[in-house]
Amino acid sequence: MAKGVCKSFGALKVLDGIDLEVTAGRTMALLGPSGCGKSTLLRVLAGFEAFDAGTVTVDGDPVTGPSPTRGMVAQSDTLFPWLTVGKNIGFGPRERGEGDAAATVSDLLGATGLSEFADTLPRHLSGGMRQRAAIAQVLANKPPLLLLDEPFGALDAQTRLRMHEWVRGLLAARPTTTVLVTHDVDEALLLGDQLGLLSARPAKIVSLRKVPFGAERGRHTLVEPAFVSLKASVLDEVLGSS
Amino acid sequence: MTDNLAGVAAPAGVVVTPVTAARRGRRQPRRLLGFIIPVLVLVAWQLAWDWQLRPRTILPSPHEVLSAADAYFFGARSEAGLSGVVYFKGAGWDHLATSITRCGEAWAIAVVVGLLLGLGLGLSPWVADLLDPFSNALRAVPLFAWLPLASVWYGINPTSGRILIFIGALWPVVVATTDGVARVPAGQIEAARMLGTPRSRLWRRVYLPSALPEIVTGLRLSLTLAWTCVIIAELGGTTTGVGAMMTSAREAGATEQIIVGIFVFALVGYAADRILRLAARPFISWSVT
């Protein structure tokens, strides 16, 4: 979906010929050192940033600006603080003229475990609950592409692990093509089906590999020898490239 | 995580922050605190009158002021019908209605113009570049500086007064709306665009609700300023209104009536602010204020 994408901010080159192809319904985890341009790449894919060269397409359609076909969740949640959780989730369908989309909202409230908080304002939720609601908010539009920009970076380690397991289950139940950028190797290996390693700035993809674990991943996976060995290998590569 | 702070039970998973809980817990005592200073002032006033710290012709007792207020609002009206005379007895409600109407009309126009101007300045760089220097320069002109010009153009009458109320009430709305809109987080705009809100609807879906707490603060300041401008608007050229009554009372040396006017301004201003806050609360309850 991305081919030869380059992006500079003035004299600062951030992306240097990014080529990226994500298998439909699978998750591509992009791992790279801090400040390498991961978030810029995701913002380009989302249509929030214009790029200087290359092409970006989703399902064959060129990306020219933000669109409900690409849902992005960032580290700080995108919930509107004046709307209840239920109305936040129903925001996208309402804006696209689908009415209150009660069935979709109810379904996603259930999937996120937030059914009893439908009428609660976001500020009354914990960080993990807000991120679940934010993911539900973008999934309500049924986007062909889900973009996750270090969505759990602000959460504590235990909550983050719970969120990894929850997202894994959610995406297994609703297969959605997903691009996740993170600097957390555990997160990348727990959530990704494919793993792309980015170089230090200007970012380019230095390696692509398949993540050899099944759909059932969780806290038990973290201690499996294959996981530990792969994590060490990935870390070597990341630290070597930074 | 479930918290139970200050006796407020939270549903499972809801985090009650210590700040929120503390605010809830302190609410009643705070209200009572507000009565302490008025009571102290009343006691000091009565003592000052008892001890004749000022001549009784210029410092009436609280009881005399209360009697004057009773006569102003509930006394039998004297309908002599003399032109240019400001009636006092029984004229309170009419004066109050006139002052509130003058203030309300000018304030309502100031709110509409202020919101439109503020949204334009906050949303459009082009409008900001065009109007910002002009509006900032106008804002710096003292309110009283407009009085001679308004009097020359429209005479000393309620129209000049309404213009002054409008000018006084306009700028808090403009500044609050401009700042509120400019401070809307970029992430909220991007989220709305990503979720399907077209640019043309952003002001209604995101800018306005997000900036509403600041706009309401501007409206409250604006309403208070508008109400304080009523006294200027009723300085001359009219025989109706609380301000006209106070001007007339000053000429007649009726200090107790002047003080009645001050209480009327204070109580109505306070009540108007409370009503505005209560009316706005459902729309801004999401923000911690």
Domains of chain B: 4-33 (no CATH), 81-284 (1.10.3720.10)
Cis peptide before A202, with omega less than 30 degrees from 0? yes
pLDDT in tens, A55-84: 999 888 899 899 999 999 988 778 999 999
Residues of chain A with C-beta less than 8 angstroms from the C-beta of B203: none
Q: Strand runs (DSSP E) across chain B, as ranges?
A: 4-5, 8-9
Q: Which of B110, B107, B129, B127 is nearest to B119 (CA)?
A: B127
What whole-number distance in Å separates Cα of residue B145 and Cα of residue B152? 12
The reply to whether A178 touches chain B by the CB within 8 Å rule is no
- pLDDT score for B85: 59
φ/ψ of residue B9, rounded to 5? -80, 135
- Read off the pLDDT of residues A190-234 as tens digits, 9 standing for 90 and up: 999 999 998 888 888 888 999 888 778 888 888 889 889 999 988
Task: Assess A40–B contact: CB distance below 8 Å, yes or no.
Answer: no
* pLDDT attached to residue B84: 57
The ipTM of this complex is 0.87
pLDDT of B160: 84
Question: And the tokens for B33?
Answer: 């605190």
Report chain B's mean pLDDT, rounded to a whole number: 85
| Residue in chain B lying closest to A89 (CA) | B195
Chain A contacts in chain B segment 9-28 (CB below 8 A)? 10-16
pLDDT tens digits for range B122-139? 999 999 999 999 999 999
DSSP A122: G
Choose which CATH entry (3.90.1520.10, 3.40.50.300, 3.40.309.10, 3.40.50.970) describes domain A2-69+145-241.
Answer: 3.40.50.300
Nearest CA to A127 out of A100, A94, A154 is that of: A154
Q: How many C-beta neighbours within 10 Å does residue A147 have?
A: 24
CA distance B211 to chain A (A): 10
Q: Is B282 on the interface with A (CB under 8 A)?
A: no
Beta pairing partners, A146 = A71, A178
The answer to whether residue A39 neighbours chain B at the CB level (below 8 Å) is: no
pTM of the model: 0.80
Q: Does A123 touch chain B (CB under 8 A)?
A: yes
Chain B residues with CB-CB distance to A79 below 8 A: 191
B83 forms beta bridges with none
Q: Which two tokens stand for residue B50?
A: 């008892």
Give the closest of B15, B191, B287 to A78, CB-based. B191
| Measured distance CA(A168)–CA(A35) in Å, rounded | 26
pLDDT computed for residue B16 by the predictor: 43
Instruction: Please give the structure tokens belonging to residue A218.
Output: 């969780």
| Number of CB pairs, chain A paired with chain B, less than 8 A apart | 81
- For chain A, what is the mean pLDDT? 89
- How far apart (Å, rounded) are the C-alpha atoms in residues B7 and B147? 55
What pLDDT score was predicted for residue B70? 92
Query: Helix, strand or coil for residue A174?
Result: coil
Closest chain A C-alpha to B247 CA, distance in angstroms: 47
Residues of chain A with Cβ-Cβ distance to B286 below 8 Å are: 81-83, 121, 123
In this predicted structure, the answer to whether residue A45 has a pLDDT above a threshold of 90 is: yes
Q: Is the pLDDT of residue A116 over 90?
A: yes
Q: What is the DSSP letter of A125?
A: B
Task: Give the model's pLDDT for residue B3.
Answer: 37
The 3-state DSSP class for residue A185 equals helix
How many residues does this entry show for chain B? 289
Nearest CA in chain A to B184: A80
Cα(A195)–Cα(A209) distance, integer angstroms: 5
Q: Are A82 and B212 in contact (CB < 8 Å)?
A: yes
Q: What is the pLDDT of residue B257?
A: 92
User: Which chain B residues are closer than 8 Å to A151 by Cβ?
Assistant: none
* Cβ within 8 Å, pair B286-A121: yes
Contact residues for A69 (Cβ-Cβ < 8 A; gap 6+): A58, A59, A61, A141, A143, A144, A145
Sign of the dihedral through C-alpha A91, A92, A96, A98 = negative
Backbone angles phi, psi at B266, to 5 degrees: -65, -50
Torsion sign across C-alpha atoms B96, B102, B108, B111: negative
pLDDT value of position B116: 94
Range with lowest mean pLDDT among A3-17, A99-113, B68-82, B94-108 = B68-82
Strand, coil or helix: B153? helix
Contact across the interface for A91 and B195, Cβ inside 8 Å: yes
- CA pair distance A147, A155, nearest whole angstrom: 18
Reduced 3-state DSSP string for A34-103: CCCCHHHHHHHHHCCCCCCEEEEEECCEECCCCCCCEEEECCCCCCCCCCCHHHHHCHHHHHCCCCCCHH
What per-residue confidence (pLDDT) applies to A101?
Answer: 82
**Residues in chain B with pLDDT values less than 50:** 1-26
Contact A129 B191 (CB under 8 A): no
Give pLDDT tens digits for A154-189. 788 888 888 888 888 888 888 889 999 998 899 999
Residues A219, B105: Cα–Cα separation, whole Å: 66
Kindly state the tokens that stand for A183. 């600097």
Burial of residue A66, with CB atoms counted within 10 A of its CB: 0-12 exposed, 13-18 middle, 19 or more buried = buried
Measured CA to CA, the distance from residue A46 to residue A58 in angstroms comes to 10
Q: Specify the pLDDT at position A152.
A: 85
Q: Where are the beta strands (DSSP E) in A106-193?
A: 145-149, 177-182
Residue ranges of the domains in chain A? Answer: 2-69+145-241, 80-142
Nearest by CB to A46, from B1, B14, B194: name it. B194
